[in-house]
Amino acid sequence: MMFEQFFNSPIKSRLVKFFVYNHNKFFDSNAIAQRLELPVGKIKIYLKELKKAGFLKSKSANSFSISYKFPYLNEVKELVLKFPPVSDEFLLQELKKVGQVKLLIIAGMLVHAQKARTEIVIVGDRIAEKKAERFLRSVEAQAGKELRYVLLTNDEFLYRKKMFDRFVLDVLELPHKKVINKLGI
């Protein structure tokens, strides 16, 4: 199989990324479609292609996991991990729907760091929790992995930082990236 045939669609690329980030479990096509927010019909087509290529194995007709026998598995993993799981542009576009965000910090797997207390910290005032949850689900769908997040008000974050709160210090000391920083942190 040629490289072009392996990565011939955005959906297939997202599936490859999904299985690289979730390499130790079997998933059925409906669960994958729900997590990636993609149509299950398309998912099934690409899952069959990836199985035929040897990238996936299956327990049943509808349950898939990464195949450790795939000859280029390490190279595919390295390639996936060279790219950010979610682009800054996507984060900023989706964040517009949330409200007045003053600080957005990404950490953990979103910056390819092994150790992290959370992957996303959203700081702002008048941010609806439901909108923040929708934002998180869309980021998870892009990243292909469940993420942990924290939503704080400006005052709460600044107070916790001033009081040397262990959680806030860990977030700021461990590898992270400030996508939005209107607080001057």
Mean pLDDT of 86-94: 91
The mean pLDDT of 110-118, rounded to a whole number, is 90
Q: Does pLDDT of 172 surpass 60?
A: yes
Q: Are residues 171 and 99 in the same domain?
A: yes
pLDDT at 115: 87
Tell if the pTM clears 0.85, that is, is over it. Answer: no
Can you give the pLDDT at residue 5? 53
Q: Are residues 78 and 103 both part of a single domain? A: no
pLDDT score for 144: 86
Residues 155 and 98 in one domain: yes
Backbone angle region of 102, left / alpha / beta, with phi > 0 → left and psi within -120 to 50 → alpha: alpha
Q: Are residues 98 and 78 in the same domain?
A: no
Q: What value does the mean pLDDT of the chain take?
A: 90
If asked whether residues 98 and 72 sit together in one domain, one would say no
55 and 104 both lie in a single domain = no
Domain boundary among 50, 82, 114: 82
The whole-number average pLDDT for the span 131-141 is 92
Same domain membership, residue 168 and residue 105: yes
Among the candidates 82, 101, 131, a domain finishes at 82
pLDDT digits (tens, 9 = 90+) for 47-85: 999 999 999 999 888 899 999 999 999 999 998 888 888
**Same structural domain for residues 98 and 163?**
yes
H or E stretch including 151?
strand 149-152
Q: Give me the domain span that covers residue 160.
A: 88-181
H/E run at residue 104: strand 100-107
Dihedral angle sign, alpha carbons of residues 100, 148, 10, 4: positive
User: Which two structure tokens, joined as six digits, stand for 14?
Assistant: 């997202």
Per residue in 139-162, pLDDT tens? 999 888 899 999 999 999 999 999
Same domain for 92 and 174? Answer: yes
Residues 154 and 175 in one domain: yes
| pLDDT of amino acid 7 | 67
Question: What is the number of structural domains in the chain?
Answer: 2
Q: For 18-40, what is each residue's pLDDT tens digit?
A: 999 998 899 999 999 999 999 99
Q: Secondary structure of the chain: what % helix, strand, coil (to 5)? A: 50, 20, 30
Closest CA to 57 of 38, 76, 73: 73
Q: What is the mean pLDDT of residues 14-21?
A: 92
DSSP, residue by residue, 15-76:
HHHHHHHTTTS-EEHHHHHHHHT--HHHHHHHHHHHHHTTSEEEEETTEEEE-TT-TTHHHH
Tokens 């195949």 appear where? 67
